[in-house]
Homo-oligomer: A and B are copies of this chain.
Amino acid sequence: MPTYHAPLKDALYLLNDVFRMERFNTLAGFAEVTPDVVEAILGEAARFCEQTLQPLNRVGDLEGCKRHEDGSVTTPRGFREAFDLYARGGWSGLSADPAYGGQGLPGTLSSIIQEYIYSANFSWGLYPVLSQGAYAALKVHASEELKQIYLPPLAAGQWTGTMNMTEPHAGTDLGLLRTRAQPQEDGSYQITGQKIFISSGEHDLAENIVHLVLARIEGAPAGVKGLSLFVVPKYIPDENGNPGLRNALQCGSLEDKMGIHGNATCTMNYDGATGWLIGEEHRGLPAMFVMMNEARLSVGVQGLGISEVAYQNAVSYAKDRLQGHAMGKPRDADSKPVALMAHPDVRRMLMNIKAFNEGARALLVWTALKADELHRSPDAAIRQAADDHLGLMTPVIKGVFTDTGFSNAVQAQQIFGGHGYIAEWGVEQFVRDARVAMIYEGTNGIQALDLVGRKLPKDGGRALKTFLSEVGLFLAEAEKDAALTIYTDPLRKAVDDLQMATLWLMENAVEQPEHAGAGATDYMHLLGVVSIGYMWAMMARVSHENIQNDTGDRSFHEAKLTTGRYFMERSLPETQTHLTRIRSGADSMMALPADAF
C-alpha cells in the first residue's frame, strides 16, 4: 500500500529562505502568517492529507462512483466524511475573500496545500478544487446579489462548484457549443443542452452543487462571441440562501475512465434548468477564463502532486528491495544483494523525479506569490507584472508539470519492476490517474498554442522580456561567485537557447503561422525547463549562502546543491534538442497529404 508524507520542509525552505515571504507583508493576509503560523497551518493540512485522504485513495480507485436510477451519485466509502472534515476544518475558504465567507490567508498557502491533497488523493481533490475556481469566476464577474448567495457556501465547503464547457461535438473548439439559454421574464434563463466530461458534476459530498455553464442565449451570434456564462445550481437557493427547489438538471451517466475512478465524471443534462447570467451577455468566455486559469494552475499542481507521491513510494521500494550487486565490484556467489538504490540507473530515475519536483515546487510557489500580488497588491505596476507572469507561466505549469508528472509516475512505476504493473502495489494507479491531467482544462497542445500564439506576442512580448531580464540580472549577480558556475553556466546556455528559439519564431512565424504551431510544444517545454533551471540556480545560491553562513540544516542544503547540479547536467540540456526542433519548422510536418497517413 502506498504511503505519503507531505514535503513540509521543502515548502518552508521556499517560503522562508528562497522567496522570503516576509517581503510580501504589505499584501492583505500576509502579515498575520508569521513563519510559525505558516508551519502550523501547513502541518495541520499535511496531517489531514496523510491521515484522512491518503488511505482513501485506493478505495476510490477500487469502488469508483455509482450512479443511481434517479441520477444521484454515491462517492466511494469515506469520501463524504473526509469532505466534512475538510469543510469543518476551514480549508475550503482558507484564502477566499473575508468579505464573502473566506479567511483571507495567502493563496500561496492554498496552492501548497493543493499539492498535498493531490498527492494524497487525486480523485477526491477534484471535488473541492472546482469550488475554488467557481468562487473566483463568480467573485470577478457575478452581480453582488449572486455573490452574496453563492460565495459564502462555496467558501464554507457547504456547496461545491463545477465547470461546464465540453459538449459531445465540441471539446477544444468552444465556438461550436450548442447549449441554449432562453431568457425568462424574471431575469433568469432556461438552460437546455448536454455537457460531457463534467468533473464532480454530481455527488453526495455537499448539500448543493453550483454549475457554471457556458451556453448561447437565443439569437446570439455563432462562435465564441455568442457564449454567455450562467450559474445553474442543483437546488435553487431559497430566500434564505438555503437549497430549495430541485433544478431541471441531471447526471445522465458516469464515464468509465482509465483512472480517477473516485471522481464522478458526468454527462450533465440540462432540461430547461433555471440559471442566472454571470456578467454580461455574450461575454461568457472571459468570465469562464477566470475559472479556467485557476483550474489550469491547479491541474499543473496535480502533475506535481502525483510526481511527488509516486517518487516517495519508489524511494521507499528502492531502499527496501534487495536486488543485484554494486557495479564494478566482482560478484561473489555468497555476497549479499544490495538495495535497488545502489544502482545508478535506479538513482537516475529517482534523481530525475526529485530534481523536477523540487524545482517545479519552487516555480509553483513563485507563481502563487505572483497570483497573490495580482489579487492583493495596491500597486498597479506590481499587479501588471504579476499578471504578465501568470499569463506566461500558466500554460507552462499546466503543460509541463502534467507531461512531466505523468512521465515521472511512469518512471516511478518502472522502479518497482513487475510489481509496478500489479494493482495491489498502488503505483499503477498513479500512472492512470496522472494521465488525465495532460488532457483536461485544455490539452497540453492547447497550452502550448496559448503560450506561443497568445501569451508570447501579447503586449510586444513584455512578459517574456520581463522574465528574461530578471534571469539576466540574477545571472550577472550570481556569476560573480565562482562556486555557482556549475549552475550559472548551464543556465546561461539554456537561456541563450530560449532566446534563439524566441527569435526564430518572431522571424518566421508571422509570415508562416504553422511554424508557431509546429514549434509550440517544444517551446513550452523549453521555457519550462529554463524556468525550473532558474529556480534551481536561485535555490543553489540560497543554499550555498546558508552553508557559508552555517545557517539551517547543512545536509538539507547540501542535498539541494547536489540535486540542482543534477538538474543542470541532466534536464537542462534538453534545451538543445527543443531549439533544433523548433528551428526545423513546419515544412516536413505539414507536407504529407492526408491519405499518406
A327 to B514 CA separation, bound complex (whole angstroms): 6
A566 located at the interface, meaning its Cβ lies under 8 Å from any Cβ of chain B in the complex: yes
A166 contacts B by Cβ under 8 Å? yes
A417 x B439 contact (CB < 8 A): yes
How distant is the Cα of A176 from the Cα of B574 in the complex, in angstroms? 39
Contact B586 A518 (CB under 8 A): no
In the complex, the chain B residue whose C-beta lies closest to that of A579 is B573
A344 touches B555 (CB 8 A): no
Query: Residue of B at shortest CB range from A519?
Result: B344
For A438, give the chain B residue with the smallest CB separation.
B414
- In the complex the two chains form, what is the Cα distance from A327 to B443 in whole Å? 17
Residue among A345, A417, A562, A590 with max Cβ neighbours from chain B (10 Å): A345
Instruction: State how many copies of this chain the complex holds.
Output: 2
In contact, B418 and A345 (Cβ under 8 angstroms): no
Contact, CB under 8 Å: B586 / A576? no
A513 contacts partner chain B, Cβ-Cβ < 8 Å: yes
Are B341 and A597 within 8 A (Cβ)?
yes
Contact B436 A351 (CB under 8 A): no
Say yes or no: is A516 at the interface (Cβ < 8 Å to chain B). Answer: yes
Instruction: Report the minimal beta-carbon distance from A455 to chain B, rounded to whole angstroms.
Output: 16
Asked whether B172 lies within 8 Å of A222 as measured between CB atoms, the reply is no
A3 → chain B, closest Cβ, in Å? 14
Q: Please tell me if A362 contacts chain B, counting CB pairs below 8 Å.
A: no
- Docked-complex contact A344 and B258, CB < 8 angstroms: no
In the assembled complex, A215 has its CB within 8 A of some CB on chain B: no
8 A Cβ contacts from A285-341 to B: 315, 318-319, 322-324, 327-328, 331, 333-334, 337, 339, 341
**Known contacts A222-B333, A324-B172, A414-B439; A256/B421 CB under 8 A:** no
Q: Is the CB of A414 within 8 A of B428?
A: no
CB distance from A198 to the nearest CB of B (A): 11
Q: Indicate if the CB atoms of B563 and A570 lie closer than 8 Å.
A: no
Residue of B nearest to A336 (CB): B176
Q: Is A588 an interface residue (CB 8 A)?
A: yes
Measured CB to CB, the closest approach of chain B to A529, in angstroms, equals 11
Q: Does A225 count as interface, using CB distance less than 8 angstroms? A: yes
Alpha-carbon separation in the docked complex, A118 to B350 (Å): 31
Q: Are A423 and B512 in contact (CB under 8 A)?
A: no
> Quick one: which of A376-426 are within 8 Å of B by CB?
406-407, 410, 413-414, 417-418, 420-424
Complex CA–CA separation, A436 to B517 (angstroms): 33
Q: Residues of B contacting A436 with CB < 8 Å?
A: 421
CB neighbours of A570 from chain B (8 A): 581, 584, 588-589
- Whether A423 and B257, one on each chain, are in contact in the complex, defined by CB atoms closer than 8 angstroms, is yes
A592 touches B559 (CB 8 A): yes
Name which of A51-59, A200-208, A268-276, A444-452 contacts chain B. Answer: A444-452
Judge whether B517 and A414 touch: CB under 8 Å: no
The one of B171, B345, B444, B577 that contacts A521, using a Cβ cutoff of 8 Å:
B345
Report if A223 contacts B (CB, 8 A): yes
Complex: A591 Cα to B348 Cα, angstroms: 11
Q: Are A170 and B323 in contact (CB under 8 A)?
A: yes
Check if A580 is an interface residue, CB within 8 A of chain B: yes
Whether a CB of chain B sits under 8 angstroms from the CB of A347 is yes
Is A432 an interface position by the 8 A CB rule? yes
B166 lies within 8 A of A424 (CB): no
Given A256-B424, A257-B421, A341-B594, the answer on whether A348 and B521 have CB atoms closer than 8 Å is yes
Q: Please indicate the chain B residues that have their CB under 8 angstroms from the CB of A322 in the complex.
A: 169
Contacts of A559 in B (CB 8 A): 592, 596
Q: Is residue A492 within 8 Å, beta carbon to beta carbon, of the partner chain?
A: no
Indicate if A569 sits at the interface (CB-CB under 8 A).
yes
Q: Which of B173, B256, B514 contacts A323 (CB 8 A)?
A: B173
Q: By the criterion CB–CB under 8 Å, are B569 and A581 in contact?
A: yes
4 cross-chain pairs, A with B, having the tightest CB-CB distances, nearest first: A344-B517, A328-B513, A223-B333, A569-B584
7 A-B Cβ contacts within 8 A? Answer: A226-B333, A345-B445, A345-B448, A345-B449, A351-B592, A569-B580, A574-B577
Q: A258-B431, A344-B590, A347-B518 are in contact. List 16 more A-B contacts (CB 8 A).
A: A172-B324, A173-B323, A176-B323, A225-B333, A256-B422, A256-B423, A257-B421, A319-B594, A343-B517, A344-B514, A344-B589, A351-B588, A559-B592, A562-B588, A570-B589, A576-B577
